Amino acid sequence: MENHANKTKARIEVRDLTMAYGSFVIQRDLSFTVNSGDIFIVMGGSGCGKSTLLRHLVGLKAPAKGKVFYDNVSFWDSESAGKEALMRRFGILYQSGALWSSMTLAENVALPLGEYTRLSPSQIKELVSLKLALVGLAGFGEFYPSEISGGMRKRAGLARAMALDPDILFFDEPSAGLDPISARRLDELILELRDSLGATVVVVTHELASIFAIGNNSVFLDAETRTMTAVGDPNKLLAESNDPKIRSFLTRGEQ
Amino acid sequence: MDISFSREPDKTFVVRLGGRWSIADGLPSTEELQRQIASDPSPERVAFDGRELGHWDSSLLTFLIKLTNFCSEKSIHVSNQGLPEGVARLIDLASAVPEKKDARKESGRAPFLSRVGEATLEAVKSAGEMLAFIGEAFLAFMKLLRGKARFRRSDLTLLIQECGAQALPIVSLISVLVGLILAFVGAAQLKMFGAQIYVADLVGIGMAREMGAMMTAIVMAGRTGAAFAAQLGTMEVNEETDALITLGISPMEFLVLPRMLALVFMLPLLCLYADLMGILGGGIIGVGLLNISPAQYYHETVAALNLTQFVAGLIKAGVFGVLVALSGCLRGMQCGRSASAVGEAATSAVVTAIVSIIVSDAILTVIYNRIGV
C-alpha cells in the first residue's frame, strides 16, 4: 500500500519473453511494459497462454528465453533472497481462490502475516478482520472455504492476496464463474484498491465487460501465431485497431 | 509513526498523524489517545490531520478503524476529511458491508456427554453407510454376472497391471524378509531340540496358511487401497463422480467394480508369489545358517505342505482383496470436497483395511480350526 504522493515506482518490464513447455512454444518474443498504477489486462482466446504468462510474471515458471524486470531488476537473474523479497511484494488471486482448505478464512489471511511480520496474534487478528471487511466478508473469519460460495471464496482469496499490503496485484480470471453483478462489484473493488492503494494491477481475463471497464493498458496474445499482436489501451484498440483478430475478439465476433 | 493531538476551542479533538506507517514496524496502540478522548473535557468531534503522512499501509487503517469504533461507542462524531483520499475511501469500503453477526459460528467445546452422543450417532451412521455400500457393491457385482455392468475393459486391465505386476517388487522384498524372520525365530527354539530341519515346515506352513496372505494384503492396503481412496476422493472433489451420475452411469459399476475385481483377482496371485518368496527367504537361513542342504530343505518343505494349506491361504487372500478394495473405495466415495478431506480418506482407508484384515483373519482361522482344515 503506497501513498500517491511518494509512491515507489512498481514497473514491470517484459523483454523478448519466450514461454515454452519443453520444446512446445506457447508464446514467443513478448515485450511490453506495465507502468505503476496501471490496470494492465492480459487478453486473448482460450489456450493462448494468458495464465502461463502470469505464472512467468509471478515467478512460478522460468522463461525459456527473455527477461522479466521489476523496477529494472531482472527477476530471474536475482539471487533466491532477492526473488523472495520481490515475491513478497506480489499479491496473487488465483483462478479458483486457491484458499487452503484445511484452514478457516481468518487463518488463510493470517498465515502470510504470521510468516513475514513480527506482529502479535491480537494485532494479526485486527489486520485480518480489516482485510476481510475490505472485501465485504466481515464476520466470516471462522468459516472454512468449503462452507462459502464461489464468489465469496474469490473475495476471500483477494483478502489473502492483500494480506501483506502488496504493491503489485495479479488476478487470474477474477470474474470467471461469477454472476454479472458480483463480477462488476469485483471490478469496482479492483479499481477502488488501485486508486486508494496506488497498487499496480495485472489482470488475466477474457471478460469483455471487465476489459473495457477497468483496463487502461493491455496486451493481446494470439493463439495461432503464438505471439502478441497488440499492446495498448483496450478502448483505443477497439476504436483504432485494424487487425481482424483483435476486432473480432473485442466485439465478440460481430465485426 | 508520529501521533500527536490537540484540543481546539470548538470542542474538536484533532489527531495529527505523520511519518512512515508500516506493518513491518508493528501496530501502534490506541490506548493513550482513547484515554485522552475520554477524559474531561470530552470533545464533540474528532478530526484528523494527515498532511505530514508519508508511506502508509494497513497499520494506519487498523489504527483509524479502532479509534473510530471507540468514538462511535462514546457517540463522538468522527470526521475523515483531514485524511488522504485513499485512506478515507478504504475506511468507507471496510465499513460499507456491515459485519454479519449471525454468520459467526459458536465456538467452545460441547459438554462431554453431548460429544459422546455425537460420536455414537456418527458411528451408527457410518456403520449404516458401510452396509449400504457393501449392498450396492453386491448389486453391481450381480449386474456384472448378468453381463450388464457398465465399465471400461481398458480400465480393468490397467488396474490389474497397477495392483498386480507393479506390486511385485515390494511384495518380494516384504515376503522374503518375513520368511527370514520366521526362520530365525523358529531356528532359535528348534535348535534346542536339535530339530533345525523343522524350520522348513514352520516357514512353509506359516507362509502358505497365514503370513503370505496377511503381509500381501497389508502391503496392498497401504499401496493400492490408499491410492483408490485418493483417486476416488479427488474425483469427488472435481465433480467427476457427479458427471458420471448425471450421465446415468453408476459410479459403483464404473469406478468401484473394476477396482474390486482387479484386487480380488490379483491378491491371491500375489499371495501365491509371496508364499514362494517367503519359503525362499526361509531357505536362505536354513541353508546358510543351519547347515541344512538345499535338497533336504526342499524335500522337507514339500512333505510339510499340501494343497489344502495353499487353498486356505488363497481363500484368505481373496477375502482380504475384497476388504482392501471395499475400504479404499468406500472412503474415497465418502470423501468431502477439500484437499484435507482427500488426505483423511486415504488415511482412513488404510486404517479400515488393516483392521478388517486382522479381524477377518481371526474369524477365518477359527472357522478353519472348527472344520478341521
Point out the least confidently predicted range of A76-80, B267-271, B345-349.
A76-80
pLDDT digits (tens, 9 = 90+) for A18-38: 998 888 888 888 888 898 888
Summarize pLDDT for A128-166 with one digit per residue, the tens. 988 898 888 888 888 888 888 888 888 899 899 888 888
Instruction: Name the band, by pLDDT with cuts 50, 70 and 90, for residue B104.
Output: low
Q: Is A216 exposed, middle or buried (0-12, 13-18, 19+ CB in 10 A)?
A: middle
pLDDT value, residue A8:
44
- pLDDT on residue B293: 93
Q: Which of A102, A140, A195 sits opposite B103 (nearest CB)?
A: A140
Neighbours of B4 (CB within 10 A): 12
The percent of residues above 90 in pLDDT, for chain B, comes to 54
With 60 as the cut, is the pLDDT of residue B192 above it?
yes
**Is the confidence at residue B242, as pLDDT, over 70?**
yes
**Chain A partners of B27 at a C-beta cutoff of 8 Å?**
119, 123, 126-127
Alpha carbon distances (Å) from A10 to A1, A2, A187, B46, B127: 11, 10, 21, 35, 59
User: Can you give the pLDDT at residue B8?
Assistant: 81
How high is the pLDDT of residue A245? 84
pLDDT at B320 over 60: yes
pLDDT tens for each residue of A150-207: 888 888 998 998 888 888 999 988 887 778 887 888 888 888 888 877 889 999 988 8
Flag whether pLDDT at A3 surpasses 80: no
Structure confidence at residue B208 (pLDDT): 94
- In total, the C-beta contacts within 8 angstroms joining chain A to chain B are 100
- Of the candidates A159, A112, A160, which has an alpha carbon nearest to the alpha carbon of residue A134? A159
Which of B20, B22, B27 to mutate to test binding with chain A, by most A CBs within 10 Å of its CB? B27
Q: Residue A4 pLDDT > 70, yes or no?
A: no
Place B313 in a pLDDT band, splitting at 50, 70 and 90: very high
Q: What is the pLDDT of residue A229?
A: 83
Cα–Cα distance between A182 and A174 in angstroms, integer? 10
Which of B52, B56, B59 would you mutate first to test chain A, the one with the most A CBs within 10 A? B59
Sequence ranges of the domains in chain B: 2-96, 129-371
Nearest CA in chain B to A123: B27
| B89/A139 touch (CB, cutoff 8 Å), yes or no | no
The larger pLDDT score, comparing residue B149 to residue B271, is at B271
Residue B103: per-residue pLDDT: 58
Is A127 close to B23, i.e. CB distance below 8 A? yes
Angle at CA of residue A160, ends A156 and A163, nearest 5°: 135
Average pLDDT estimate for B109-130: 90
Highest mean pLDDT among A10-14, A60-64, B337-341, B342-346: B342-346
Taking CB atoms and an 8 Å cutoff, what residues of chain A touch B57?
A: 1, 165
Phi and psi (nearest 5°) for B47? Answer: -125, 160
pLDDT at A255: 67
Check if A74 contacts B (Cβ < 8 Å): no
Contact A106, A133 (CB under 8 A): no
Which tops the pLDDT comparison, B280 or A112?
Answer: B280
ipTM score assigned to the predicted complex: 0.73
CA angle B193, B198, B201 (to 5 degrees): 155
Determine the average pLDDT of the residues in B138-162: 89
Contact (CB<8Å) A138/B66: no
Confidence grade of residue A210 (pLDDT, cut at 50, 70, 90): confident
User: Which cell is A141 given?
Assistant: 473469519
What's the rounded Cα separation, in Å, for the pair B259 and B262? 5
* pLDDT per residue as tens digits for the range B36-77: 888 877 788 888 888 888 888 888 888 888 888 888 888 888
Report pLDDT for B182. 94
| B141 vs A150, more confident | B141
Is residue A190 within 8 angstroms of chain B, CB to CB?
no
Cis peptide preceding B41, ω within 30 of 0 = yes
- Per-residue pLDDT tens over the stretch B288-312: 998 899 999 999 999 999 999 999 9
| Average pLDDT along chain B | 89
Cα–Cα distance between A164 and B147 in angstroms, integer?
A: 60
Q: How far is A83 from B292, CA to CA, in rounded Å?
A: 66
**Complete DSSP assignment for A67-113:** EEEETTEETTTS-HHHHHHHHTTEEEE-TT----TTS-HHHHHHHHH
Please give the pLDDT value at position A6: 38
d(CA A160, CA A110): 8
pLDDT at B106 over 70: no
Q: Domain B2-96 is classified in which CATH homologous superfamily? A: STAS domain (3.30.750.24)
pTM given for the model: 0.70
| Mutation to test the B interface, candidates A101, A125, A147, A185, most B Cβ within 10 Å | A101
Instruction: Tell me if B65 and A195 make a contact (CB, 8 A cut-off).
Output: no
pLDDT of residue A5: 38
Write down all domains in chain A, each with its CATH number in brackets: 35-59+89-250 (3.40.50.300)
pLDDT band at A7 (very low <50, low <70, confident <90, very high): very low
Please name the amino acid found at residue A144.
Y
